[in-house]
Amino acid sequence: MSRHHIRYRYDVFVRTTLTLEPDVAMKIKKRMAEQKLTLKDAINQALRAGLETVESKRKAPFKVEPYPFKFKPGIDQNKLNQLLDELDAEEFVRKSR
């Protein structure tokens, strides 16, 4: 059979060694006692909840909320770049003296 016909299965159970920090281990033990869970179920629930939280934060759309600027009368909002150029020119003249 060629490599192209091999199918991989991702629904296999994996055994692994997991080292928990003391504070995490205490929380897992507490959850196991409160909800009468096995270690496996408590760890899987905690991992699922954490991963869902991370994924939902990543998928949250970025929102820009406009702020209504209230320019003083006489300032043309369409000519702000021109105003900036004039201010830059004044600054240049001031520094070159």
* pLDDT tens for each residue of 31-43: 999 999 999 999 9
Residue 95 lies in a domain: no
Residue 8 lies in a domain: no
Residue 12 lies in a domain: no
Does residue 16 contact residue 40 with C-beta atoms inside 8 Å?
no
* pLDDT tens for each residue of 82-93: 878 888 899 989
Residue 69 lies in a domain: no
Domain range for 46 is 18-58
Q: Which residue has the higher pLDDT, 16 or 30?
A: 30
Report residue 11's pLDDT band, with 50, 70 and 90 as the boundaries.
low
Residue 10 lies in a domain: no
Q: How many domains does the chain have?
A: 1
Closest CA to 17 of 38, 39, 48: 39
State the pTM of this model: 0.46
Q: Is the pLDDT of residue 70 over 50?
A: yes
Q: Is the pLDDT of residue 1 over 60?
A: no
Residue 39 lies in a domain: yes
pLDDT for 3:
47
